[in-house]
Structure 1
Amino acid sequence: MSTHATLIKPPKSLPHHSPIENVLQLLPLVDIGPDIYTNARPLWHPPGARGIFGGAAIAQCLSAAQATIPIDFTVHSMHCYFVLAGNSEIPILYHVERVRDGKSFITRTVQARQRGKCIFTTTLSFMKEGSGGAQTVHHAVRMPSDVTPPPPVTRTRAFDDDRPFESLRCSVANRGSPSERQLRQWVRAVGRISECPPNVREEELVSGRRAHRPGDNHQAHLSALAYMSDSYFIGTVARVHNLNRFANRRNIENTLRAFKGSDTEREQMRKYLEEIAREEDEEREEMGKTEDDGRRVGMMVSLDHTIYFHNPRAFRADEWMLTEMESPWAGDGRGLVVQRIWNKDGILIATCTQEGVVRLKQQESKL
């Protein structure tokens, strides 16, 4: 990752902020125009990926939009499209458009741009707290009861210190056909998310132009959840089909050969890929697959991403949350994945969907 991939010199990390708050921090570009922001720090480019981690664009677009709304409005849905691969060597500009400000709902669109081109776009809807009325219909999918609780650990991967969240994979559920298999993991942000609002709003808070309730930093937890929602998402299609990407040693070596970072960064990447390979081998054994059918992933990239926030103030992103992913359909070089996220108390806090390109390497014709 480049150390010069920001438009403005990165500010010092605040000691009372968690790693994910520092990673997602935005800076307003008031000299360029209203409602324009940029990433304060370089963004992560996952090994083997075509561009930056998609969760970063999702979360920072949400943070930028949240900076333009009253504190008593909360996001309930966002619909995103990945347009171009983000370049980790170039700063991103986030342009917020104030589409509508209503009494109960507020609408925003955000475009993430690099070199004048849109690389990511999203439309978000915010709802005023309590506007649904005193009496409402209510139901929710229950959290699975057959999942082993996570141990009280601080980090699951000691070698991956730069990642602002940690995850713990669970056993595969419903090991039938690919459309029936369910992949689960526990996730949480590293450290403790602070109680103060994001830095992007500090000037407005000091000047009194924005109201803030002490101890209310739910927006940081929502941005953190958005960031983590893209973890292993479209890869679910390959995983339910046992299409291993890195369990093959040749794939790891090819990825490392193309890497341009330092020797230390290359060694960290090797350990990261080897950890993924180990998990792929474990899933292969769990699903009872012992033979290699020769299929290989040729291309896998996200096309869109949707998040419905059900209980946006009923969780902490720095406490364990359970995610469950399944793929109801794949075909024509694409795949669809549905993800549900519960807090530690079993409250359904979000439902996400993602469609992506999932193409296999085509075998050469012998004719």
Structure 2
Amino acid sequence: MGEALDDLLDLLDLERVEEDIFRGRSRSAVVPRVFGGQVAAQALAAAGRTVPEDRAPHSLHAYFLRAGDPDAPIVYTADRIRDGRSFTTRRVVAVQHGRPVFHLSASFQRDEEGLDHQADMPPAPDPETLPPGREALPRYADRFTDPGAVDRLLEARAAVDLRYAVEPPYATPGEPREPRSQVWFRVDGKLADDPLLHACLATYVSDMTLLDPVLLAHGRGGWAVGDVVGASLDHAMWFHRPFRADEWLLYDQESPTSSGGRGLGQARIWTRDGRLAISVVQEGVVRVPR
């Protein structure tokens, strides 16, 4: 296991302050605020710490309320909304400087049998045929208006091997393309057999590229290119089948619409052997600078 993954796992190992109150460290990502995927993953970890071990997360719904301060800890308070025979519901509020910055509702379920069907996995190149992000990203450095963007992106994604199946938005700014993107990802190391941990890590990664299809539709390269400003507004995930975040997962993403300074991204995450593991939807602010 690499040092970067160790650091990420430390971020998810929250300090228990009281029975249902936790404190987490934070760090900046590619912009001077806390990475949204980190807050979502920590909130899910806080919720999971209050749930019986035989119940795994099956859905989460969250709102990003304020930009997080990377220089201050985040306090997570979990409310035990419901403990049923099959399902457990938790609500988590993340607070910094006395104000809520994030709100999450999550539901957990005991494993059980039921009707089973799924869509077909879309075609995608094998991940081994694609260059790792740490090799591919520096090729686009000349597109970035922010001279430190490449280094910060590499640092933010150091714990994750993320490989684009198509060129990312910042590769071809000014050229509108189909609003669809695919990336393969896995964390850079072997993990314990803990479904909550794997769900938290998938949540962390899910906020990295989900709005890329919005940018592709309009030929925008993103914040590092300087042609849009944006932030996540809300985030929803449904965990359908078991998966491992330390094995290859295909993140198939598209955007059906953007309007009013907002863009919608929706996606499915597949295991390499074709099982639909997770569905994801997010809306974010996507504005053109004036």
Instruction: Compute the TM-score of the two structures, normalised by the length of structure 1.
Output: 0.66
Matches of 2:271 and 2:2 in 1, distance apart? 27
State the 1:79 CA deviation.
0.3
Question: Which residues in structure 2 correspond to 1:237-252 (within 5 Å)?
Answer: 237-245=214-222, 248=225, 251=226
- One-letter amino acid of the structure 1 residue matched with residue 127 of structure 2: P
Matched, 1:304 2:213: no
Conserved? CA contact 2:179–2:214, under 8 Å: no
1:335 — aligned with what? Answer: 263
State the 1:22 CA deviation.
2.3
Find the partner of 1:60 among 28, 39, 42: 42
- One-letter amino acid of the structure 2 residue matched with residue 191 of structure 1: G
Deviations 1:91-124 (A, max 9, x none): 1001000011111111100011001100000111
Where in structure 1 are there 5+ consecutive unaligned residues?
Answer: 1-12, 196-215, 252-295, 363-367
* Number of residue equivalences: 265
Give percent identity, aligned residues only: 35
State the 1:35 CA deviation.
0.7
* Structure-2 change in CA distance of 1:161 and 1:53 (3 Å): closer
State the 1:84 CA deviation.
0.1
Deviations 1:315-365 (A, max 9, x none): 110111100110011111111110110011111110000011111234xxx
Matches of 1:179 and 1:14 in 2, distance apart? 36
* Structure-2 change in CA distance of 1:139 and 1:119 (3 Å): same
2:16 — aligned with what? Answer: 28
* Structure-2 change in CA distance of 1:150 and 1:96 (3 Å): same
Find the partner of 2:185 among 187, 194, 214: 187
Conserved? CA contact 2:214–2:264, under 8 Å: yes
Matches of 2:177 and 2:86 in 1, distance apart? 38
1:213 — aligned with what? Answer: none
Deviations 1:254-303 (A, max 9, x none): xxxxxxxxxxxxxxxxxxxxxxxxxxxxxxxxxxxxxxxxxx32x31111
Find the partner of 1:351 among 271, 279, 284: 279
* Structure-2 change in CA distance of 1:337 and 1:156 (3 Å): closer
Relative to its length, the structure with more strand (as a share) is: 2
1:87 — aligned with what? Answer: 69
Matched, 1:46 2:41: no
Please give the secondary structure, in 2, of the residue aligned with 1:139.
coil
1:125 — aligned with what? Answer: 107
Matches of 2:155 and 2:262 in 1, distance apart? 33
Conserved? CA contact 2:164–2:183, under 8 Å: yes
Matched, 1:105 2:93: no
Please give the secondary structure, in 2, of the residue aligned with 1:157.
helix
- One-letter amino acid of the structure 2 residue matched with residue 181 of structure 1: P
Matches of 2:224 and 2:73 in 1, distance apart? 33
2:170 — aligned with what? Answer: none
- One-letter amino acid of the structure 1 residue matched with residue 240 of structure 2: H
State the 1:137 CA deviation.
2.5
Deviations 1:44-67 (A, max 9, x none): 3232x3521100011001111110
Please give the secondary structure, in 2, of the residue aligned with 1:29.
strand
* Structure-2 change in CA distance of 1:18 and 1:89 (3 Å): closer
Matches of 2:132 and 2:46 in 1, distance apart? 29
Where in structure 2 are there 5+ consecutive unaligned residues?
Answer: 136-150, 168-174
Matches of 1:247 and 1:85 in 2, distance apart? 18
Question: Which residues in structure 2 correspond to 1:197-346 (within 5 Å)?
Answer: 216-245=193-222, 248=225, 251=226, 296-297=227-228, 299-311=229-241, 314-346=242-274
- One-letter amino acid of the structure 2 residue matched with residue 309 of structure 1: F
The farther-off stretch of 81-90 and 150-159 is 150-159
Matches of 1:353 and 1:152 in 2, distance apart? 28
- One-letter amino acid of the structure 2 residue matched with residue 38 of structure 1: R
Conserved? CA contact 2:176–2:220, under 8 Å: no
| Displaced runs of 4 or more, over 6 A | none
Q: CA RMSD in A?
A: 2.7
Matches of 1:53 and 1:354 in 2, distance apart? 15
Matches of 1:153 and 1:336 in 2, distance apart? 27
Matches of 2:165 and 2:27 in 1, distance apart? 25
